[in-house]
Amino acid sequence: MNDATHVLIDLDGTISDSSPGIARSLQHAFSVCGYEPPTDEQVRTVIGPPFEVGLPTLGIPIDDIERVVWAYRGRYEDVGLFENSVYPGIAEMLDELVAAGHTLSLATAKPETTATRIIEHFGFTDHFAVQAGATIEVGTGRRTKAEVIEYALISLGLGAADLPRVVMVGDRDHDVEGAHLNGIDCIGVAWGFGSPGELETAGASALVDTPAEVAAAVAATYRSVRP
């Protein structure tokens, strides 16, 4: 049998459908800041990457992103983060991965302090050895998925020789790209916020349609590091 793999797992669009709370909070922020609120469908296109990347595509000038983000957080941190539901089969997926001997870690571009609250709210804290997220400052610190993954690997005490035993699981192209920049594979999940073909184009090593398929995909993606 292969040695156990470290599995890094995204949050928004992978563990939970966070779109209702994000949409309502962004729409609130746009209104407060004097912009036309985006539709729910437009919001879905920016869930995942840092808002520095997504908000300009919705018409927010770069020099006003921080003001909009803080207005967003004013509602999201109190209300929006709980307008959120776990996808069917995720609890069983996490249990199956742990039972198989894998070490699980969260790797999300959502601010880490917010992500840990959400994971605790869902009762999943004990499943994760590390909960890695972004820093809260807009435009500085640990913001991209690549930076979050690097931070997770360091927090796990993993080095270059360990990378063949690490797999990322996520729903957007930035999950794949961030994984590749850190020298690891990424399994794409089809139930999240990615557009058709997005994960394949980014180079996901596998694509799964349901959480029940993830454990087998992790086993298939695993690359032995034995000499």
The span from the CA of 184 to the CA of 168, in Å, is: 7
Residue in 3, 10, 95, 209 annotated catalytic: 10
CA neighbours within 13 Å on the CB side: how many for 215? 16
Contact 68, 60 (CB under 8 A): yes
- Residue 58 gets which letter from DSSP? G
At 109, phi and psi to the nearest 5?
A: -80, 0
- The verdict on whether 10 is a catalytic residue reads yes
Return the DSSP state at 8. E
Q: CA neighbours within 13 Å on the CB side: how many for 155? A: 19
User: Hey, what's the torsion of the CAs at 174, 178, 187, 103, to 10 degrees?
Assistant: -130
Question: Catalytic residue positions?
Answer: 10
